[in-house]
Structure 1
Amino acid sequence: MNPLPILLGLACAAGLTLIADGLRPRPPGSRSSRRTGRRRSVDRHRMLATVAAGVAAGAVTRWPVAVLLAAAAVWALPRVLGPDREHTRAVARIEAIATWAELLRDTLSSAAGLEQAITATAPVTPHPIRAQVQALDTAVRGGARLPAALRVFAVDLADPTADLVVRALTQAAGYHGGQLSQCLTSLAVTARELAVIRMRVATKRAATRTAARVITGTAVAMVAGLILLNSGFLTPYQSVTGQMVLLVVGAVFAAGFWWLVRASRLPEPPRVLANPGGLAVGEGRAG
């Protein structure tokens, strides 16, 4: 049976689904919602590339397992073997939080109140968290209670280091702020030390990621060379047994890459504010 019409039908269905999802109207949301929308847009492009790779593999090899393996590789390998963007964003966010804590400390030292300090630092906050700090400033100037606005701010950042700063600011806003400057100084030092630790870990695991890229590139080049230059060598894989063997080999590779991702991922420290959004949104609107 020729699998090409089936593959083309699946590709057409996937394309129509993506078009319908893109045309569906969505209400305007918060910055975190817009970030989620951008992430979904990237996922849609990855989905299209995945479908295209599966169709191309099926057209060249006529193997159902090749369709599955090619689609899985295009979907997963760029995230596994590509630049560690999540690490870069996490380090930039932590350093930005440390800088903002220092800005708040210096502004508070001039006898400004906490709300005034947030307003003063919002335009000069480092870019990775500037949008969230400006949203916090807008909420405070709009009449929201500072503790509720800070909780929404913590939800938007979703970072354990930011939770520490929010905890200190919330306590200063609700009770007393006599030790806030010293606390912000300590938090800034801790955040920068955490960023340094992350950089050291990333440097040590760079060799592992490079080795994985070399192994993967060699395997892909070998398979492509066999398909283009010596397709007869792959004839045994055309049988049902050969397809099952190929599926097992692909599963072994997938397990290896899954282990690589798990081993190279730096575990996040626990969040200080457990479920910070449970009451925040309601309080912020009420305020």
Structure 2
Amino acid sequence: MILLVPAIAGALVVGGLIALGLGLRPSPVIQRPARPRRLPKLSAQARRLLLAGVAVGMVAFLITGWVLALLVVPIAFVGLPLLLSSSSAAQRIARLEAMEEWTRSLSGVLTVGVGLEQALVATLRSTPAAIAPEVTRLVARLRARWVTEDALRAFADELNDATGDLVAANLILGARRRGAGLSSVLEGLAESVAADVRSRRQVEADRAKPRSTARWVTLISVGVLVILAVSGTYVKPYQSPLGQVVLVGLLAAYVATLVWMKRMAIGRAMPRFLAPVPGSPKEGGAA
């Protein structure tokens, strides 16, 4: 027993030295091919605004002689509508309203006694346009003999919304238990989503007031600058190189204020709680 303790200690020391040597040995570096960076594509409306901005910028350069107009005017034509609009919030509200309408329609179909999968397929024709692509792919997966729960989890991933997770979670529970109370649960869920839509519309209406004020202030400021640049001597100091630099700084400060206001008006989305099944087939398998 006395000789066993030094033997074990010696074995541990030797094992530690071997592990230290293996840890200090440099491992081969795996070279992974770099993914090409793709530039964001401009929408058709953004391209039209950019072309109009280039044309107006050239006219402004010919009239005022400001080289800065060739750069600032096209950026203003594309950036100001983006900063002063509320399209993202309106789109989120429209998707929530579409989820509420689709959930209510699904609840009505389930009351006639059909199965969940048949009810999901039956709602495809009456699906609102805001979530029609996601519901179409859900029905395609069900017709391709996907497991219902996996198809619903993929559907929730495509919606990418906490409310979509809530709808999908209730449908998953209904697919597991196959009870008769799913229709009433979905009806109550639709009422909850409708209340959420009403509250978000009220919040968006309150946010639209300062946005409208900023829009009018911007239009008035741009109009005054155009009039002064064409007919007045007030902007002559800005025609020098130093004046152009100062003007860029003032415009950048104004744009930074609009960006700050835009970020304040964007609400934080609720975190999702429904995770996809590990190893479940992806969208490519439903083709």
- Structure-2-length-normalised TM-score: 0.75
The alignment of Structure 1 onto Structure 2 pairs a total of residues equal to 247
Q: Describe the SS at the equivalent of 1:122.
A: coil
Deviation at 1:79, TM superposition (A): 1.7
* Match in the other structure for 2:244: 243
Aligned to 2:165: 163
Structure-1 residue corresponding to 2:272: 271
Mean CA deviation greater in 216-225 or 239-248: 239-248
CA contact (8 A) 1:50 1:74 kept: yes
| Pair 238,286 (structure 1): closer, same or farther in 2 beyond 3 Å | closer
- Partners in 2 of 1:164 and 1:67 — Cα distance? 50
Higher helix share: 1
Q: Does the CA-based 8 Å contact 1:104-1:118 persist in structure 2?
A: yes
The one-letter code sitting in structure 2 at the alignment partner of 1:186 is G
* Distance (Å, rounded) in 1 between the aligned partners of 2:124 and 2:245: 59
What is residue 5 of structure 1 aligned with on the other side?
none
Give deviations 1:69-126, integer Å, cap 9, x for gaps: 32321121112224x2322222222122112112222222222111001011111122
TM-superposed CA distance for 1:54, in Å, is 4.2
Deviates further, 148-157 or 94-103:
148-157
Instruction: Confirm or deny: 8 A CA contact 1:155 1:277 kept in the other structure.
Output: no
Task: Go from structure 1 to structure 2 and tell me whether the alpha carbon gap of 1:264 and 1:279 turns closer, same or farther (over 3 Å shift).
Answer: farther
C-alpha contact 1:65 1:246 (8 A) present in aligned 2? no
Question: Please, which moves more after superposition, 234-243 or 218-227?
Answer: 234-243
Deviations 1:32-77 (A, max 9, x none): xxxx98x744444444345445444444433343333323211211
Which segment is superposed worse, 126-135 or 277-286?
Answer: 277-286
Corresponding residue for 2:76? 73
For 2:70, the aligned partner's letter is V
User: 1:123 touches 1:130 (CA, 8 Å); kept in 2?
Assistant: no
Partner of 2:210: 208
Name the structure 2 match of 1:23. Answer: none
Quote the offset at 1:156 in angstroms. 2.9
Report the equivalent of 1:120.
122
Summarize the Cα distance change of 1:273–1:279 in structure 2 as closer, same or farther, 3 Å threshold.
farther
Q: Which amino acid aligns with 1:265?
A: I
The superposition leaves residues 131-154 of structure 1 with CA deviations (integer Å, 9 ceiling, x where unpaired) of 322332122113222223223322
Q: CA RMSD in A?
A: 2.7
Residues of 2 paired with 1:284 and 1:183: CA distance? 32
Q: Which amino acid aligns with 2:64?
A: T
Matched with 1:282 is 282
The answer as to whether partners of 1:96 and 1:126 remain within 8 angstroms in 2 is: yes
Change (3 A) 1:281 1:219: farther
Structure 1 regions of 5+ residues with no counterpart? Answer: 1-35
Q: Does residue 1:48 correspond to 2:51, yes or no?
A: yes
TM normalised by structure 1 equals: 0.75
Q: Distance in 1 between matches of 2:177 and 2:138?
A: 20
- Please give the alpha-carbon distance, in whole angstroms, between the structure 2 residues aligned to 1:71 and 1:279: 47
Where structure 2 has 5 or more consecutive residues not aligned to the other structure, the ranges are 1-39
SS in 2 for 1:248: helix
- Superposition deviation, residue 160 in structure 1: 2.2
> Residues 42 and 152 of structure 1: is their aligned pair in 2 closer, same or farther, counting only changes over 3 Å?
farther
Whether the aligned pair in 2 keeps the contact of 1:144 and 1:284 (CA below 8 Å) is no
Q: In the alignment, what sits opposite 1:10?
A: none
